[in-house]
Structure 1
Amino acid sequence: MTSLLVFTDLDGTLLDHHTYRFDAAQSALLSLKTFSIPCIINTSKTFSELIPLRKELNHQDPFIVENGSAVYIPKHLALPIDETLEDCGDYWLKSFGPKRARLIQLTDGQQDNYTFKRFSNMTWQELMAITGLSETNAKQAMQREFTEPMVWTDSNLALTAFRNHLDQFDVQIQKGGRFSHLMGKHCDKANAMLWLKEVYAQQNEDVITVALGDGENDVGMLSQADIPVVIRSPVHAPPEIPNRSDAWLSDAYGPEGWAQSINLILNKQGIL
């Protein structure tokens, strides 16, 4: 039996880039629920940021946090998992790298050698000033578990040297828009997606993965998906997906493009 598994980025994809609303996607989200197709959030956001958002979305499926650092699986799904996971209340937790405390410890002595400022050295007021986030959202964004963002103000040459130093500890630095993120070497949106695919494949042998994203940090996930969908952005050009001439590009932007793409996939699969 063939089953679909949808993996989606949030900001600029399921959520509007400017308003963070998802109204345009609600009917397509309902279609996925109706046909029991899991819609797995795969985002850079933290667990704390996702809990209120999942309530708004009425989201019941697994979700991937902090750019592929960890997967949270709601216990009520009773998915077949053949490894020991961490017990986190209502969820089972699979992490792919060290906890945040270890990342802080590894970089504690490095501020004499390089110029950077980590989240752990900032106040939420400073983060609000840098990002424009509200007080609540800034506090939630700082509640990280597996990554440590930093403002890097040193040279690219110094960043390469720092990366080489951290490599021996299996830690990488992913450069984002505003921040450079310290994280485990194996933390990656694509790795987390493929791990969950294997979990679902124990129930249905033939699992087709759909991935939707709009940014550079979605490229790995998109390149590893069976059906990669690039969602058009109002603020930047679509990312290139290497070696994938079959990648879709939505006509509309953000959640509207997301909904159009989901409906088209459901039609092509003979579901709608």
Structure 2
Amino acid sequence: MTQPPFIVFTDLDGTLLDHASYSYDAALPALAALKDLGVPVILASSKTGPEIAVLRDELGLAACPAIVENGAGLLPAHAAPEVGGHAYRDLRRALDVLPPALRGSFRGFGDLGPHGVAENAGLPPEQAAMACRRSFSEPGIWSGSAADEAAFVAVLAKSGISARRGGRYLTLSHGGTKADRMVEVAAQYGAGRSVALGDAPNDAEMLASADIGIVIANPHGNALPDLAQIARGEIRRSTKFGPEGWNEMMLPLLSEWAL
């Protein structure tokens, strides 16, 4: 594999994709420029392998691996996603043995089903069905208090299950972050410089691990921590939202690094 000039790792919802419409059109100029330079764009999302595989093909990025389900898994380049497995079944079993007072406040995708996910996330039915085809993690809606959420997370932690809050959902998994998978992907390409873009707390490690971490403004999500103290490289912030912010930040960076 030829070593590229650098690698781009990007979150999807609220970052490369518009929060409401899920469109990436505003980022097309920057994506085209990256393609011309031979820069791999690694999609890194809470989305499942089936969801990301469709978008990856649509964007012409099938030759790039992708980080799926918040870093709980990796979809190899040109590979078809695998669905199901013991990791997801174990998550659902752990939920089913929780005290009813805690279990009742969490509705995972396995509880909502494709119809409920479509309604909640504003997805077309076919996309919602793909979002429910999970292998490594379980996103869900938390409807209880902050104190009960802390108790919920603490009980699951005793079973080796971690909980991460993204832009829209609380996601459960057996561990692994986008930053962990980022290291694996960088090794495949022979390391080199990296840029990471994201908008939510579950992107924090990935942003802090990059040479340049770019926080995309998101008025709908939870604020990210102050990354300046933990970042390996430089942290920048967009003024525009979603794909407009993506384009706003990437085009000037390409000009900088081209010099």
Using the size of structure 2 for normalisation, the TM-score is 0.83
Percentage identity across paired residues of the two chains: 34
Counterpart selection for 2:65 from 51, 57, 62: 62
Residue 173 (structure 1) aligns with: 163
Q: CA deviation at 1:160?
A: 2.9
1:195 aligns with 2:184: yes
Gap change, CA 1:117 and 1:242, over 3 Å in 2: same
User: Secondary structure, in 3 states, of the residue corresponding to 1:144?
Assistant: coil
Q: 1:249 & 1:23 partners in 2: Cα distance?
A: 20
Gap change, CA 1:18 and 1:33, over 3 Å in 2: same
Q: 1:237 & 1:124 partners in 2: Cα distance?
A: 25
Conserved? CA contact 1:231–1:238, under 8 Å: no
5+ long unaligned stretches in structure 2: none
Letter in 2 for 1:228: G
The 5-angstrom pairing of residues 69-218 of structure 1 reads: 69-75=72-78, 90=79, 99-112=87-100, 114=102, 115=104, 116-176=106-166, 178-185=168-175, 187-201=176-190, 207-218=192-203
1:18 aligns with 2:20: yes
Q: Whose strand proportion is higher, 1 or 2?
A: 1
Residue 80 (structure 1) aligns with: none
Q: CA deviation at 1:215?
A: 1.9
Q: CA deviation at 1:235?
A: 4.0
Letter in 2 for 1:215: A
Residue 37 (structure 1) aligns with: 39
Q: 2:98 & 2:107 partners in 1: Cα distance?
A: 11
User: Secondary structure, in 3 states, of the residue corresponding to 1:209?
Assistant: strand
Q: 2:27 & 2:121 partners in 1: Cα distance?
A: 26
5+ long unaligned stretches in structure 1: 76-89
Conserved? CA contact 1:119–1:149, under 8 Å: yes
Q: CA deviation at 1:64?
A: 0.6
Gap change, CA 1:31 and 1:131, over 3 Å in 2: closer
User: Secondary structure, in 3 states, of the residue corresponding to 1:157?
Assistant: helix
Q: 2:164 & 2:207 partners in 1: Cα distance?
A: 17
Larger Cα Rg: Structure 1 or Structure 2? 1
Q: CA deviation at 1:162?
A: 3.2
Residue 55 (structure 2) aligns with: 53
Moved more, 1-10 or 187-196: 1-10
Using the size of structure 1 for normalisation, the TM-score is 0.80
1:221 aligns with 2:221: no
Q: Deviations over 1:202-260 (max 9, x none)?
A: xxxx6111001122221221111111111233545863324149311224332232123
Q: Deviations over 1:104-163 (max 9, x none)?
A: 122222253522333223332233333332222221211111111233344433433333
Letter in 1 for 2:125: E
Conserved? CA contact 1:98–1:183, under 8 Å: no
Residue 82 (structure 1) aligns with: none
Q: Deviations over 1:85-104 (max 9, x none)?
A: xxxxx3598xxx96211111
Gap change, CA 1:153 and 1:257, over 3 Å in 2: closer
Letter in 2 for 1:258: W
Q: 2:258 & 2:109 partners in 1: Cα distance?
A: 47
User: Secondary structure, in 3 states, of the residue corresponding to 1:173?
Assistant: strand
Conserved? CA contact 1:98–1:184, under 8 Å: no
Q: CA deviation at 1:13?
A: 1.5
Q: Deviations over 1:165-199 (max 9, x none)?
A: 322332112234553221113x2111111222223
Q: 2:167 & 2:221 partners in 1: Cα distance?
A: 12
| RMSD of Structure 2 on Structure 1 (CA) | 2.7
